[in-house]
Amino acid sequence: MNAIELLKADHHRVRTMFREMEQSEKDAEKRQLLAFRIFEELLTHARIEEKLFYPAVEKALDNGSAEKLRTSRADHAGAERLIRELSALSPDDEAFAPRFVRLVRDMEHHMAEEEAEVLPLAARVLRGELEELGCKMEAMRKDLGQPKSRRGELGVTRAEQADEDPDGLL
Ligand SMILES: [Fe+2]
């Protein structure tokens, strides 16, 4: 999978989970697990982009064109702050819903902007490098998915994740 396909697949998974969350209003247990999966997915996505994807695009660009990536990084920082706050709450807490709605709104905006501007820009400047970069990004996703590297960060046990995520995407 090349780098752009991989990021689009990330976005698709996140959007699907946002919709599932909307539709599971009455199932507290499902909401809790889904919330953790969303946080994991977003944090992994942000790390892969910041460590590998953005630097590769920046390297291929002159400085003046890198403004979009600064916005994207700022979006990630905002999302990470919200995720830290949300991780300390249960989806049943009153404070959860407004923050979660904000996270969804911010991330929908972030993903749409990436798809409209950052990914087409990357496709133009990285062309021949997209496959190799995609391989590195996939390898990093696998590393981040290893039990010890992520466990505890959000208070989720691997056993809980394995039940919910037989494909091992987390
Ligand atoms: Fe992103």
Number of domains, the chain = 1
The pLDDT, as a whole number, for residue 145 is 81
| 10 CA → ligand 1 middle, Å | 9
| 74 CA → ligand 1 middle, Å | 10
User: Do the domain assignments include residue 92?
Assistant: yes
The pLDDT, as a whole number, for residue 11 is 95
User: Do the domain assignments include residue 169?
Assistant: no
Domain interval for residue 108: 3-164
| 91 CA → ligand 1 middle, Å | 24
The pLDDT, as a whole number, for residue 28 is 85
User: Do the domain assignments include residue 74?
Assistant: yes
Distance CA 145, CA 141 (A): 6
The pLDDT, as a whole number, for residue 57 is 93
Distance CA 24, CA 35 (A): 11
| 6 CA → ligand 1 middle, Å | 12
| 47 CA → ligand 1 middle, Å | 9
Does 64 have pLDDT greater than 80? no
User: Do the domain assignments include residue 7?
Assistant: yes
Distance CA 23, CA 15 (A): 13
Any idea what DSSP says for residue 117? I
User: Do the domain assignments include residue 170?
Assistant: no
User: Do the domain assignments include residue 99?
Assistant: yes
The pLDDT, as a whole number, for residue 133 is 97
| 4 CA → ligand 1 middle, Å | 11
Instruction: Note the pTM of the prediction, 2 decimals.
Output: 0.81
DSSP H or E stretch at residue 75: helix 67-87
| 20 CA → ligand 1 middle, Å | 20
For 80-102, how does the pLDDT look when each residue is reduced to its tens digit (9 = 90+)?
999 999 999 988 899 999 999 99
Distance CA 88, CA 155 (A): 9
Q: How far is CA 31 from CA 25, 27, 103, 114, 119, in A?
A: 7, 6, 15, 27, 31
